[in-house]
Amino acid sequence: MISKLVKTSLAATALTAFAAPALAQDVTLTIESWRNDDLAIWQDKLIPAFEAANAGIKVKFAQSAPTEYNAALNSKLEAGSAGDLITCRPFDASLALYDKGYLASLKDLDGMKNFSDVAKSAWITDDGANPFCVPMASVIHGFIYNKDAFDKLGIAAPATEADFFAALDKIKADGTFIPMAMGTNDQWEAATMGYNNIGPNYWKGEEGRNALIKGEQKLTDAQWVAPYATLAKWKDYLGDGFEAQTYPDSQNLFTLGRAAVYPAGSWEISGFNTQAKFKMGAFNPPVANAGDECYISDHTDIAIGMNAKSAHPDQAKTFLNWVASPEFASLYANALPGFFPLSSGEVKLADPLAQEMVSWRSKCKSSIRSTYQILSRGTPNLENETWNASANVIKGTETPEAAGKRLQDGLASWYAPQKAK
């Protein structure tokens, strides 16, 4: 009996010894994220696709509430308990994590060559030397419209500003629809879907944005004031009571079929597809004259980086290189219509509205919102001031010139390259 027990014990020990190396190869990477809405997409589509191609690496998606993410993540990083992979918000919040040594530099990651300078701009040091997150997606701005309404009134998607205002005039004269759904109560839409939507056509996208950062252009220059003058014309087309109209109010006016045009961010696509009972189309911000070069706000939104203290850096880099691949780009963009891949490869999207918006990249130059990189680090905060100025100009309580001067004076009060020489 003792002999049998000894033999059994030895056999079990031997099996354990042989099994140990196989078990040791399995590594689990944890992704920290605020994107609660994406949990099913990661669990059902993205993680299975990665694991199928990378035996021995398992991935776990750990989400926090969006409003609590920054604080929760910082606490975990300080305690050394954060996951291997960190979902990155754009610009200063993630830059601060890199400066504290929490995010690893990714300048030597092979996959980074798949991204343009614009795509990397939200997750790179000010000197451009060290990228620290792999770009995942952007949101594109333009105008979504009620195609049934346009067809009924014989209106084509406008290409020039003259076409745009002629279309709004025709919709207004007909009286069936509010020409355009946007309010100024919450202010941010006036800047995000207003000023920074149409503005890149005036300041020539990255050319103007970078010149502003360098102090070579000012917010009182014609190309920065002119978008406010165009916004001031919107007032006549927004419907009664737009001053008290909130963001959800505007969404409802459009999806219920009461408004014909919606100044949009592409993140609206999924919700609009569910709620609207009419055909929709989209057009990029109209240019001043036919044949002018066009620019779009193709704004960097989400990325993913590596915890500098990850116990599994090689496996984490394998995952990040996969995130930089065409396979990930296609899976992610089709699972989340309106969140567009930032890698250089072309991706075909099944959703027609999303495909229309991403197709603008082939004919227009991409840029990001003018206030997000560097220029909103001081007080007054240029992003918040742009919200207020855009809303004021639309309401008619501030002139375009006064808005430009107020914002320029505020920026120059703390930002050295813009201080009067």
96 and 36, same structural domain? yes
pLDDT tens digits, residue range 356-413?
Answer: 999 999 999 999 999 999 999 999 999 999 999 999 999 999 999 999 999 999 999 9
- Region for 63 from its dihedrals, namely left if φ exceeds 0, alpha if ψ lies in -120 to 50, beta otherwise: beta
Angle, in degrees to the nearest 10, between helices 69-79 and 92-99: 10
User: From the CA atom positions of the chain, what is the Rg in Å?
Assistant: 25
pTM for the full predicted model? 0.90
On whether residue 198 sits in a domain, the answer given is yes
Q: How far apart are CA 164 and CA 225, in angstroms?
A: 20
SS3 letters across 147-195: HHHHHHHCCCCCCEHHHHHHHHHHHHHHCCCEEECCCCCCCHHHHHHHH
Cβ atoms of 310 and 46 closer than 8 Å: no
On whether residue 400 sits in a domain, the answer given is yes
- The conformation of residue 287, written as its DSSP 8-state character, comes to B
On whether residue 359 sits in a domain, the answer given is no
- Its domain, for residue 232, covers 139-298+369-418
On whether residue 385 sits in a domain, the answer given is yes
307 and 293, same structural domain? no
On whether residue 145 sits in a domain, the answer given is yes
What pLDDT sits at residue 7? 42
318 and 241, same structural domain? no
pLDDT tens digits, residue range 178-205?
Answer: 999 999 999 999 999 999 999 999 999 9
Nearest Cα neighbor of 366 from 290, 294, 289 is: 294
- Phi–psi pair at 330, nearest 5 degrees: -70, -45
274 and 162, same structural domain? yes
Q: Where are the beta strands (DSSP E) in 175-292?
A: 178-180, 259-265, 280-283
291 and 265, same structural domain? yes
**Residue holding tokens 């102090």?**
215
163 and 285, same structural domain? yes
pLDDT(18) > 50: no
240 and 386, same structural domain? yes
On whether residue 363 sits in a domain, the answer given is no
On whether residue 356 sits in a domain, the answer given is no
230 and 92, same structural domain? no
Q: How far apart are CA 116 and CA 119, in angstroms?
A: 5
Which element (helix H / strand E) includes 200?
helix 200-203
414 and 332, same structural domain? no
The CATH number given to whatever domain includes residue 166 is 3.40.190.10
401 and 256, same structural domain? yes
On whether residue 360 sits in a domain, the answer given is no
319 and 391, same structural domain? no
What pLDDT sits at residue 15? 39
How many folded domains does the chain comprise? 2
Q: Are strands 27-33 and 57-63 parallel, antiparallel or unpaired?
A: parallel
389 and 378, same structural domain? yes
pLDDT tens digits, residue range 334-364?
Answer: 999 999 999 988 888 999 999 999 999 999 9
